[in-house]
Amino acid sequence: MSSTFLKQLLEEEERSDFASLRFAYLAKQQGLRNVFLQQMNTFIAEALAWDIQRQRQFTVLLLTACEREETVQDLLIHPLKERLLKPVLKQWMNDLPEDVRPYRWFGVFSFEEDNRLEYLQTAIDRGGRQEQLAIETMIRHLLNWLWYAFHHLNEDLYLSETEDDAETLKETRLLMDQLDDSVQKTEFMEEWQEHARTYELWLRFLKKETEGFMEWRERQEKRGENKQ
């Protein structure tokens, strides 16, 4: 259960503004699918009838709460996300393009997975260093991509393009310089250094060998230890 918005909502029995939403979340927790869908549909219909300002206030309330959560699946339920929040955010971008928040939320919470990085980059470009959540999310995505590129090297399979990954390593390193959280930065740096080392060794390997990368790497690293 969420420690913020959802917990408060479920505890506030008389909160008439979001009564249907509260009943929907309760029904979902209890495994009552039909009741959940009925109540969620009711709430979405009610919210779509609100004026735009009230819709944005609700969106801010919910997505700001989501920013503080490690997991958001209990809050960002698919019908709510697709039928209410997504169109509200889209309209928000059109009406107030200088407001960085819709771009951040679109990227952080994957409203459009295929364009996720574009929204994150827009948030970072417009918000700069203050967009810490967008920066952190972008770094995580890029590090995950590097992991994916390298994770079959034990079979001598490189699942990306070396030129692209050179840029990814550079971009990730620059983004890490903008992080304010020193602990998080240290964790990211350790992962980045491991990927950078793997990338460097793979390029060296390709100049001399065609198969057996992991064994070749082990030999290189042993030689390095022996020189110390």
**Percent helix, percent strand, percent coil in the chain, to nearest 5:** 75, 0, 25
Q: Does pTM surpass 0.95?
A: no
H or E element in which residue 111 lies: none
- Residue spans of the chain under pLDDT 70: 1-4, 13-16, 225-228
Residue 2: predicted pLDDT: 46
Q: Where are the domains of the chain?
A: 1-96, 128-228
| Cβ neighbourhood burial of 140 (10 Å; 0-12, 13-18, 19+) | middle
Question: For 102-131, what is each residue's pLDDT tens digit?
Answer: 999 999 999 998 999 999 999 999 999 999
At 220, list the tokens: 């290189």
